[in-house]
Structure 1
Amino acid sequence: MTTERRERPSTWGKITDAEMERIAQRFASWRPDVPWWRDCTRDAFEHYALGIGNANPLFQDEEYAANTRWGGLVAHPLFLDSFGRRAGQGGGGFPGVHATHASLFWTFYKPVTLGLRIQMKSCMWEHYLAPSRFAGRMLDVVRRHAWVDEDDGTMIANNWGLVKRWERDAARGRRDTASPHRDWRRHVYTDEELQDLWEAYDAIEVRGAEPRYYEDVEVGDKVGPYITMPYVGREIISYYMGTGAPFMMSNTNMYNYFKRHPGANVPDPETQTPDVPERTHYDQQFARFAGFPDMFDVLQPRSGYGTTMVTNWMGDDAFLRELSMLGRRPVAYGDVCWIHGEVTEKFQRGDENLVKIVMVYDSQKWRASWGHALVSLPSRERGPVVLPEPGIDPETEPYDKENPTPEYAKEILYQPEPDLPDAAFIKDEVGVR
């Protein structure tokens, strides 16, 4: 039996001035996030590592981790993402308006260890209209997130995030004319290209127990590469198994969520079967209906792959202090992401011996992302890594209505593309490089 295609009436949400004013009343109103994990257990650490494709034994092998300076398992730094499913509690506003993460900026204060009790909380901070060739009216939303040790109240990490909101109808109408990826098509691999990929995966190194000392690092040193598998729906489903996801519910729970948030129900355009907007990441038809060329990845796991490259490089004795990433273009079906970086600064601040790494994320079509990492390394002269003083809980900070987001955060959320060479060794003719 064939089903005649029906265009769904244009009932998807709009970015209106009234809704912007309504949501602005919620700025700086912190609330706890709905967690995927409630406890820091071996299973939770391992499931996150498996979901993000991380093979570092520090994050999943208890016997190995017991012999490191941490004395036991620690979590991959971005494991913290799994302590909040973000949309599970609602409150984002603009029902029926699409959202995608655009950039992020993490600061870390201590590692996540077994038994740690964590509360994640978040809030919207500000929003403003942004120009777009892709979707017409687009809204930039700045959000803040914080992870607090429930036992002593100290900060574990905090995060600035930028989310893009746009009207799906407008994006779909411009997909084939104004979209920067209107000429996109799926890559067809040759046997030789696949063999090159397998050899590149075999060459990925995990430094592990061998310390990387501050004195041994020089500005200009290369970091990586780390190379992902070609993107397919399995990649994001594996990631969701480790972190949870805003709309990954079924049956009664899904129905009850749709009742509370009807704008989250984005039915299949042909059959009207109820479904969620998250399927842009594993459903080609819906991704195109929403204005994208194909199913595409998510910023959180992409940043996790970059974090994996850095933790592979820095070794067990180091500590990741900062991480940022700006998402410029999608990594879509069949695309590989080549992540590589370069040490651009080294300096000492108090007891910390710090190196800054600038990173880029290249697919065979275009530069998809860039960002930085700040790593605290052990020193031959000054000894092991000293963890920083606990950060200030951002919920206690005053809210400046005239200039809510400080300049240092804006500079990182909108950081310019670094001047690093393209790392991709497979190239497509289609795409903007």
Structure 2
Amino acid sequence: MTTSEKTEKPSEIYTFRDEDIARARDLVGVYHAMTQREQYTRASPDIMRNFARSYGDDNPLFTDEEYGAATRWGGQIAPPMVNIAVRKELLADPVPREQRRPSFRGIHVFVSGTTTHWYRPVLDGDTLYGFHGTEKVEEKQSEFAGRSLIITGLQVQFNQRAEVVQTQRVITIHTERHESKKRKKYDSIEPASYTPDDIARIDEIYAQEQVRGTNTRYWEDVEVGESLGTMAKGPLTTTDMVVFHSGGYGFAPYTPCASRLAYKNRQRIAPFYIPNEQGVPDVAQRIHWDSGYARSIGLPAAYDYGMMRDCWLSHYLTDWMGDDAWLESMSSQMRKFNYLGDTHTFTGEVVGKRTEGGRHLVDVELRGTSQRGEVTCPATATIALPSRVGGAVALPAAPAEFEQLAARMLERDAELRRERRAGNGAAS
């Protein structure tokens, strides 16, 4: 994913400022309320359904308002990765300048991996909030673009009861821009093309995919080495990217917008808008759907979001595990680009079984492999399954320190909202 750009001349070079790197390191362990809203702020049957559909998931637990009533959840629940679509802004005290994250303007930013832990479902009517911070900052040399900075950020999402829903650690690679440098690494990559027979073979995979659903998968019945089956995703199209955004991926504060809203956004973050071939200022984010722009910075075509592949990986897991299970954690890597036209097949297997605190867990390894035979997104996951002897799955406990911080942030938000209302009343 690319987040920060700068209008430039072809020969310009954009490098890190040492003071920005130092400030990033100083902020490790400092957490702030997330004060910008995402595409949506409160879960509803329509939002849960549309978000699931945005990455091709038709699991009725996520998409059917009536279906969930007969499950252990008592109603429809949101897909695991809903955190990228639903969040209400928190009111908070101003962040001191020295505690603000550096912008790294002119620097490309790519998601290289995530680790997510889930603690409880998101239900109809839940309002979600969040806080975030930095956990690690590493400086390295990148094969793609020279000097690079690897930053591990933490996002914690919680509901209106200050219950932590999930934590997500996102690894981003910040790379310097050397526009005058010819990058031959990607010259040999040809855009994918398909014959009707090729499409038919992909369709055969789609036709055989099944949602486990109400057919409970018990821990005792799972064997180490067992395959999780095969799932297809692709060929990736511009339409896929549009549907992903329209289904809820807001990508705040860079949410795609149009007309007057785009004008206002351009006044706020002008460096993010780079003139296209027609001279029109357009978002640097278009690298995910504008292959011409992607080629201008040395890539063969536009490519997807890392978060889209996380959605695909979680989709593969939830199809396999069934309604009564719980996806406890998933750790993924984004090793290769997934270009427009590429097709992925997802495969995986059980690599371990264990009990922990009375809970019955299975560990799995999974991966997405492109039509080039490249594993672009390997991952591991832990799933809690019901037991024929031990009974239903018990949800894991969320970190107490995070729930305490969430409660304090909600309290401060309520105080500031009361002050705002009182001020508005006095003014009138």
TM-based fold match above 0.5:
yes
Post-superposition offset of 1:85: 10
Q: 1:277 aligns with which of 277, 281, 284?
A: 284
1:29 is matched with 31
Equivalence for 1:321: 328
Match of 1:122 in 2: 132
Match of 2:61 among 58, 61, 78: 58
Indicate the SS of the match to 1:119. Answer: strand
Give the distance between the partners of 1:358 and 1:48, measured in 2 at CA: 25
Deviation per residue, 1:97-121 (Å, 9 max, x gap): 1111110000010111111221122
Other-structure match for 2:106 = 96
Residue range with higher mean Cα deviation, 53-62 or 240-249: 240-249
Counterpart-to-counterpart distance in 2, 1:333 and 1:91: 32
> Match for 2:197: what amino acid?
E
Q: How far did residue 13 of structure 1 move? A: 4.0
- The one-letter amino acid paired with 2:192 is H
Change in Cα spacing, 1:251 to 1:124, as seen in structure 2 (3 Å) is: farther
Q: Deviations along 1:254-289, whole A, 9 cap, x unmatched?
A: 233332323212222x33321111111100111111
Q: Residues 174, 393 of structure 1: CA spacing in aligned structure 2 closer, same or farther, 3 A cutoff?
A: farther
The answer to whether the aligner puts 1:211 opposite 2:216 as a matched pair is yes
Per the alignment, residue 15 of structure 1 pairs with 16
**Counterpart for residue 419 of structure 1:** none
Q: Which has the higher strand share?
A: 2
Pick closer, same or farther for the CA change 1:84–1:140 going to 2, 3 Å: farther
- Per the TM alignment, residue 37 of structure 1 is displaced from its structure 2 partner at its CA by 1.1
- CA distance in 2: counterparts of 1:260 and 1:24, whole angstroms: 26
Q: Deviations over 1:357-376 (max 9, x none)?
A: 10111001211110111100
The question of 1:110 aligning with 2:124 is answered: no
CA distance in 1, matches of 2:229, 2:304: 21
Aligned to 2:166: 157
In the TM superposition, what is the alpha-carbon distance from 1:298 to its structure 2 partner? 0.9
Structure 1's unaligned 5+ residue stretches are 1-6, 398-433
> What does the per-residue CA deviation read over 1:136-183, in whole Å, with 9 as the maximum and x for residues that have no partner?
1211111110011222x221100111011112335x72422xx2x331
* Alpha carbons 1:49, 1:60 under 8 Å: kept: yes
Query: Residue 76 of structure 2 corresponds to which residue in structure 1?
Result: 73
Q: Which of 184, 190, 194 in structure 1 is aligned with 2:195?
A: 190
* d(CA) in 1 for partners of 2:268, 2:188: 39
Letter in 2 for 1:290: I
Distance of aligned partners of 1:182 and 1:396 in 2 relative to their CA distance in 1, 3 Å threshold: farther
Q: Decide whether aligned partners of structure 1 residues 50 and 289 sit closer, same or farther in structure 2, where only a CA change above 3 A counts.
A: same
How far is 1:22 from its partner?
Answer: 3.4
1:226 aligns with 2:231: yes
SS in 1 for 2:339: coil
Which residue of structure 2 lines up, in the alignment, with residue 381 of structure 1? Answer: 389
Residue in 2 that maps onto 1:424: none
Give the residue type in structure 2 aligned to 1:306: L
CA distances 1:341-369 after superposition (whole Å, capped 9, x unpaired): 11001101113110011011100121111
Please tell me the residue identity of whatever aligns with 2:171: L
Counterpart CA distance in 1 for 2:26 and 2:383 is 38
Answering whether residue 237 of structure 2 is matched by residue 250 of structure 1, we say no
Q: Is the 8 A contact 1:226 1:305 kept in 2?
A: no
Q: What SS does the corresponding residue of 2:244 show, helix, strand or coil?
A: helix
Deviation at 1:222, TM superposition (A): 0.4
- Identical counterparts, % of pairs: 28
In 2, are the aligned partners of 1:62 and 1:72 still within 8 Å (CA)? yes
Amino acid at match of 2:151: V
How big is each residue's C-alpha offset from its partner over 1:51-77, in whole Å with a ceiling of 9 and x where there is no partner?
111010110112211111111100111
What amino acid is the match of 1:283?
D
Q: What amino acid is the match of 1:212?
A: R
Match of 1:49 among 45, 49, 52: 52
Structure 2 counterpart of 1:201: 206
Alignment pair present for 1:339 and 2:349: no
Structure 1 counterpart SS, 2:263 = helix
The number of aligned residues is: 384
In structure 2, give the amino acid aligned to 1:104: T
Would the aligned equivalents of 2:117 and 2:329 in 1 still touch at CA under 8 Å? yes
Q: For residues 184 and 73 of structure 1, do their structure 2 counterparts lie closer, same or farther at Cα, with a shift above 3 Å needed?
A: same
Secondary structure (helix, strand or coil) at the match of 2:366 reads: strand
TM-score, structure 2 as length reference? 0.84
Cα distance between partner residues in 2 of 1:169 and 1:394? 40
Structure 2: how far apart are the matches of 1:350 and 1:26?
35
- Structure 1 CA distance for aligned equivalents of residues 46 and 233 of structure 2: 24
Q: Distance in 1 between matches of 2:260 and 2:196?
A: 46
Cα–Cα, structure 1 residues 44 and 91, in superposed 2: closer, same or farther, change >3 Å? farther
Does the 8 Å contact 1:247/1:278 carry over to 2?
no
Per mean C-alpha deviation after superposition, the further-off stretch among 134-143 and 372-381 is 134-143
The match for 2:314 among 282, 294, 307 is 307
Identify which range, 130-139 or 293-302, moves more after superposition. Answer: 130-139
Further displaced range: 246-255 or 314-323 = 246-255
Contact 2:42 2:88 in 1 (8 A): no
- In 2, are the aligned partners of 1:280 and 1:290 still within 8 Å (CA)? no
* In structure 2, C-alpha distance between the alignment counterparts of 1:183 and 1:387, rounded to whole Å: 48
Which SS does the other structure have where 1:187 is aligned?
coil
